[in-house]
Structure 1
Amino acid sequence: MTETLRTARDEDAAPAGRFPSFSEGVRTWARIAALSFGGPAGQIAVMHRILVEEKRWLGEKRFLHALNFCMLLPGPEAQQLAVYIGWLMHRTAGGIVAGVLFVLPGLVAIMALSVIYALYGNVGFVQGLFFGLKAAVLAIVFEAVLRIGRRALRNATMVSLAAASFIAIFVFAVPFPLIIAAAGLIGYIGGLRRVAAFSGGGHGPAAKAGVDDARTVLGETIPAHARPGGTRALTVAGVLLVLWLAPTAALLAAFGTGNVFADIAVFFSQMAVVTFGGAYAVLAYVAQEAVGTYGWLAPGEMLDGLGMAETTPGPLIMVTQFVGFMGAFRDPGTLSPLTAGILGGLLTTWVTFSPCFLWIFLGAPYVERLRDNRGLAAALSAITAAVVGVILNLAMWFALHVVFGEVGTFERFGMKLAVPELESARPVAAALSVLAVLAVFRLRWGMMTVLGLSAVAGVVLQLAGLGV
């Protein structure tokens, strides 16, 4: 009986009066930020444990409802969930503090590692460290393919969408935004026509709560500022829109296209509105553009940046800061390379994360309307399925550049297919990657354990003359 009462109390949304003081909220968000390792799954688990189970500031249903909304949005869902809950408890200021604190540890850590990488990347110890991390990251990305695939590919239609997505991007180099748009349109039409394959919309853990639960969560218990209506949300959203786009417009006006800072601002602003499916889904797109179109990185360096992001707190998409840093570092113009790199990294972070606050402050009061929309729910299901194919492309792209030193391109009949140079094979890298895959899939070791042991192995192999 006691357990039943406790469960019922957990599932009720906490009234506004039970929310913490602002100062206590700030301390808690700082703690969550410091513990936010392990990618979005780990970060969401940390928030759930602290906010729902330990602090009991939110009920289970309200937490899942907020998460489900954040997974509908482009951008890092864990960071947006922090913004949402911070906003729910303490208005705009609470959302800003929660979102900024969530990103800040990763920003500082990735910036420091980027400086070390740019200045000392050829040092044997540093090379060995990232040599080992690449193998672990490869295993983690393959694990992400299976994890998301189990959730998203619930019928033959979804499997077909994933396969078509993989073929389109891996074989024909179709742009990622076009794949997402096509999948969303297919799902939207299928949802409106009540096609069975697209029914049961929603995705991720929150989908288990269902739309009816989502309606129960909000009810009349939410604070007044979290209800639709009024001009405050529009005003805040307008300010955020200007803060996001004004630097991009100013850089374009001052330097035009072709300047590294203008290119960074435009590219990552565009990316911020198409990054459905989380960081893994967009990394292949970012990697291919950063390497092939802009020349900001060498192929294997994207793996190095991902290794940094995997081993530091904060959103995995923080790897984009490394991309912006290296791009500006190598094309500094009249600035010193280090100054240009730091400014490029900060600019990348700004245009990547500013939209996250905009989506939450503008859209959160209308969550119920979004969740009730049959076409939108079906569109998200189709997009999630397509994202599985995109992540598989990322895994294959990474695998080729880990195992082979040279990867060419076969271009014929409309295809643009990556083909490895067999004589450039790296047996040691392949063996280390296989061991990392076995550790993840067979031994069920945690991500941090695999990353740490792989990094140590990489250093040892490099010092022994068997590394890169």
Structure 2
Amino acid sequence: MIETSSNATATPGYTLWQLVRYMLALGTWGFGGPVALVGYMYRDLVEKRVWISESDYKEGMALAQLMPGPLAAQLAIYLGYVHYRVVGGTLVGIAFVLPSFLMVVAIGAAYTAFGGIAWMQAVFYGVGAAVIGIIAMSAYKLTTKNIGKDRLLWAIFAVSAGVTVITRSEVIWVFLGAGALVWLLRAPPRWLSRGQVNDFAAPLLAFFAMDPLDWHKLGQIGAYFAYAGSFVFGSGLAIVPFLYGGVVQDYHWLNDRQFVDAVAVAMITPGPVVITTGFIGFLVSGFWGAVVAAAATFIPCYLFTILPAPYFKKHGKRPGIVAFVDGVTAAAIGAISGAVIVIGQRSITDLATAALALVTVAVLWRFKKLPEPVVVAVAALAGLLLYPLAHP
């Protein structure tokens, strides 16, 4: 008999392979970023097909917000887990990520082979500027949705954004410190006054789960991307400033132009934004570099979903955990906003690219339902036209 959650029926109204095929299709055509992808899942699986109950979907969303990892990928894994447990979560996760991985490998091969040709440089000249506008709008949406008028979260946001701009990288201690601060101020654990440690367990476990000391055995690429993948909270865009600090500044695997191009590739392909790590891995070490980088990025997200899933129904709504997540989310959004400035300094090189970035923001502001791939495609055409004029 299939084990089910408390809110699910004993016999699901779909097979595992039906869900796998759906996630494979969503990973192939699912443009629009994490918010759009989780919206598609709700519309198709909860409302239309009624495969997943409302309560199971909400629990999956809460877990995806709580644990580090790209939001849409973690929700997909959790929905696979609901009725088909570990096998379901594993197959669904692979199906969701595989199409975009194959796409970025193909683009990486073309980029490596033809990167020196003017037309490809021209395409990324326009796309790179548009990406800055897209990230800026995403940061705005995340800020208004998650921070609102909360003064404490705004202070954390400002500090995290400032640290990102100054250091040109993501400082993990800011994330963890923000989570701990909000947790202690808004939902102080009972052990502080009564010697109990139950409410302390989740943040403590989250801290040790992120310890990268043993990851060096996997090799330099595997270790770094596994470490990076363990600190993506809520939106895949949160990994952008973190990757910039390591890939460009610390390891010097890519230059500034290549990094912006990698972010652009993630924007023009469907599926999770975090798949940009596969493109980066390909540029660093070919196909197997892409495999190791992508696998190392998504394995932590997979484990952070599968392992706590059986216990989340009982403990996920505790005030201490909710407060910790609020603090981490505010810090992550601040880092994304700071990354707009850091990356923008590399992509906005002249009046044409500045105009493209501003027009992107204006268009996305005016036409809120306009698919981002359409914006990127137009920016690519603009790049083909403007690049020869800017670089005669």
Q: Confirm or deny a common fold (TM above 0.5).
A: yes
Letter in 1 for 2:258: E
Shift of 1:183: 0.5
Equivalent in the alignment of 1:145: 139
Q: What is the alpha-carbon root mean square deviation over aligned residues?
A: 2.2
Would you say 1:280 and 2:237 are equivalent positions? yes
Gap change, CA 1:245 and 1:100, over 3 Å in 2: farther
| Alignment check: 8 A CA contact 1:76 1:315 kept | yes
C-alpha distance after superposition, 1:241-286 (max 9, x if no partner): 9xx999x5555xxxxxxxxxx2211111212222223221221111
Cα drift, residue 427 of structure 1:
1.6
Aligned pairs for 1:342-421 within 5 A = 342-404=287-349
Q: Give the letter for the 1:15 counterpart.
A: T
Q: Does 1:306 align with 2:306?
A: no
Match of 2:371 among 446, 452, 457: 446
Q: Which of 296, 321, 324 is 2:281 aligned to?
A: 324
Note if 1:192 corresponds to 2:117.
no
Partner of 1:101: 95
Alignment equivalent of 2:112, drawn from 114, 118, 130: 118
Match of 2:199 in 1: none
Structure of higher CA gyration radius:
1
Given the alignment of the two structures, is residue 433 of structure 1 paired with residue 378 of structure 2, yes or no? no
8 Å Cα contact 1:428-1:467 kept in structure 2:
no
Distance 1:174 1:283, change over 3 A: closer
Distance 2:139 2:172 in 1: 19
- 1:128/1:467 contact within 8 Å kept: no
* 1:54 corresponding residue in structure 2: 48
In 1, Cα distance between equivalents of 2:324 and 2:19: 35
Q: Structure 1 residues 54, 129: closer, same or farther in 2, change over 3 A?
A: same
Offset from partner CA, 1:21-65 (integer Å, 9 cap, x none): 233223222222222221111111121121112211122232122
> Given residue 327 of structure 2, which amino acid in structure 1 is its aligned partner?
A
1:63-82 equivalent positions in 2, closer than 5 A: 63-82=57-76
CA contact (8 A) 1:67 1:81 kept: yes
8 Å contact from structure 2 (residues 226, 299) kept in 1? no
**CA distance in structure 2 between the aligned counterparts of 1:118 and 1:156, rounded to whole angstroms:** 47
Q: Distance in 2 between matches of 1:174 and 1:127?
A: 26
- C-alpha contact 1:192 1:375 (8 A) present in aligned 2: yes
Q: Are the aligned partners of 1:35 and 1:46 in contact in 2 as well (CA < 8 Å)?
A: no
Shift of 1:140: 0.9
Task: Please state how far the C-alpha of 1:13 moved relative to its aligned partner.
Answer: 4.2
Of the structure 1 ranges 168-177 and 116-125, higher mean CA displacement relative to structure 2 is found in 168-177
Moved more, 272-281 or 295-304: 272-281
Letter in 1 for 2:313: E
Maintained 8 Å contact 2:127/2:383? yes
Partner of 2:198: none
What corresponds to 2:194 in structure 1? none
Q: Which residue of 2 aligns with 1:292?
A: 249
Q: CA separation of 1:89/1:345 partners in 2, compared to 1, >3 Å: closer, same or farther?
A: same
Give the Å deviation of 1:443. Answer: 4.0
Alignment partners' CA distance in 2, 1:459 and 1:435: 17
Deviation at 1:437, TM superposition (A): 1.8
Residue 302 of structure 1, CA deviation: 1.7
AA in 2 matched with 1:75? G
Distance (whole Å) between structure 2 residues aligned to residue 34 and residue 137 of structure 1 = 21
Supply the AA of the counterpart residue of 1:384: T
Letter in 1 for 2:152: T
Q: Give the corresponding residue for 2:15.
A: 21
Mark the CA change 1:172 to 1:360 in structure 2 (over 3 Å): closer, same or farther.
Answer: closer
2:71–2:233: 8 Å Cα contact kept in structure 1? no
TM-score, with structure 1 as normaliser = 0.73
Structure 1 spans left out of the alignment, 5+ residues = 1-11, 195-240, 252-261, 329-340, 405-425
Q: Match for residue 456 of structure 1?
A: 381
Secondary structure in structure 2 of the residue aligned to 1:17 = coil
SS at match of 1:372: coil
Structure 2 vs 1, CA of residues 132 and 91 (structure 1 numbering), >3 Å: closer, same or farther? same
Q: CA deviation at 1:75?
A: 1.1
Determine if contact 2:23/2:96 at 8 Å carries over to the other structure: yes
Q: Using the alignment, how far apart are the partners of 2:97 and 2:172 within structure 1?
A: 25
Q: Quick one: which amino acid aligns to residue 307 of structure 2?
A: L
Please list, as runs of the form range in 1=range in 2, the aligned pairs for 1:137-286 lying within 5 A after superposition.
137-154=131-148, 155-172=150-167, 175-193=170-188, 250-251=217-218, 262-286=219-243
Matched residue SS, 1:15 = coil
Find the counterpart in structure 1 of residue 196 from structure 2.
none
* Matched position secondary structure for 1:465: helix
Distance 1:153 1:250 in 2: 39
The amino acid across from 1:430 in the alignment is A
Counterpart check, 1:44 vs 2:44:
no
Does the CA contact (< 8 Å) of 1:13 and 1:58 recur in 2? no
2:67 corresponds to which letter in structure 1?
A: L
Q: CA 1:108–1:174 in 2, change beyond 3 Å: closer, same or farther?
A: closer
Match of 1:215 in 2: none
TM-score norm. by structure 2 comes to 0.87
After superposition, the C-alpha distances for 1:278-336 in whole angstroms (9 at most, x for unaligned) are 221221111121111111111122221111111112210011112222222xxxxxxxx
- 313-322 vs 103-112, greater mean Cα deviation: 313-322
Determine what percentage of the aligned residue pairs are the same residue. Answer: 26
Deviates more, 1:173-182 or 1:116-125: 173-182
Q: Displacement, 1:369? A: 3.4
